[in-house]
Structure 1
Amino acid sequence: TKVIVQNGDTFETKTLSTFRNYEVNFTVGVEFEEHTKGLDNRKVMTLVTWDGDKLVCIQKGEKENRGWKQWLEGDLLHLEITVAGKLCHQVFKKVQ
């Protein structure tokens, strides 16, 4: 389950699952230190920006070419995660 609360360019996001939970809050255009505790336990510098109607994240740390993109299409949330040239595309459906 993904929970996303948007207030202008400020986002509160939660990813909830049986195995682990993760929360990250950010403001678009403001770089911040992110600790991916509960995921893969990395410390990275993260910058999220807008590219049209997509949120684009670039993470700088021990692995190159790492980040994600998120966008809405109707009631679907698309998430593309990139790591070292590999791509994972996930689609979430909005609960009514």
Structure 2
Amino acid sequence: MSASLCGTWDMVSNVNFEGYMVALGISPCLRKTANKLKLKKVIEEQGGVCRIKTLSVFRNYTTSFTVGHQFEEVTRGLDNQCLKSTVTWDGDRLVCEQIGQKKNRGWAHWIEDDKLHLELYCDGQVCKQVFKKKGLKDDECKLDA
């Protein structure tokens, strides 16, 4: 079963973001600010290229990729690392493995109960975020498993 991840999503919960940021080596000052943010995700697909934008009043982060192809990802504004990332489908989950200085780093997006779920993990820490959809209709995007 596949579900479209595309659309605009507003954060409704954010569990263990602090622990995840500590694992990434984010400074206490930046962690304090980041923990207060309500994030928005915009997920798009065009011509086989997927784009995930994470938006906030403080900073924005965009990553673009083709599913199944390794790419270089620079996490500017986050922990400023250069990673070798690969995004694949694992059933209904869009999963990213990020290879760099930190161990067991990556993320997974999936739809459950009409909400976008995101797990961010690094070095034994797992952050669980949930987003509610608004905006784009499902049929306007082809990012399916």
Query: Could you state the TM-score of these two structures normalised by the residue count of structure 2?
Result: 0.62
Q: Does 1:78 align with 2:105?
A: no
SS at match of 1:94: strand
Q: Contact between 1:20 and 1:39, CA under 8 Å: does it hold in 2?
A: no
Write the mapping of 1:1-96 to structure 2, written as runs, cut at 5 A.
1-7=40-46, 9-96=48-135
Compared with structure 1, are the counterparts of its residues 89 and 57 closer, same or farther at alpha carbon in structure 2 (3 Å cutoff)?
A: same
CA displacement at 1:40 relative to structure 2: 1.4
Compared with structure 1, are the counterparts of its residues 74 and 57 closer, same or farther at alpha carbon in structure 2 (3 Å cutoff)?
A: same
- RMSD, matched Cα: 1.4
Structure 1 residue runs without a partner (length 5+)? none
Q: Contact between 1:66 and 1:82, CA under 8 Å: does it hold in 2?
A: yes
Structure 2 residue runs without a partner (length 5+)? 1-39, 136-145
Relative to its length, the structure with more helix (as a share) is 2
Query: Could you state the TM-score of these two structures normalised by the residue count of structure 1?
Result: 0.92
CA displacement at 1:8 relative to structure 2: 7.1
Relative to its length, the structure with more strand (as a share) is 1
Q: Contact between 1:70 and 1:77, CA under 8 Å: does it hold in 2?
A: yes
Task: State how many pairs are aligned.
Answer: 96
1:24-68 deviations in Å (ceiling 9; x for gaps): 100110000000112211100000010001011100000010000
CA distance in structure 2 between the aligned counterparts of 1:74 and 1:7, rounded to whole angstroms: 26
Higher RCO (CA 8 Å, separation ≥ 6 residues): 2
**Counterpart AA for 1:25:** S
Q: Percent identity?
A: 56
Higher-Rg structure is 2
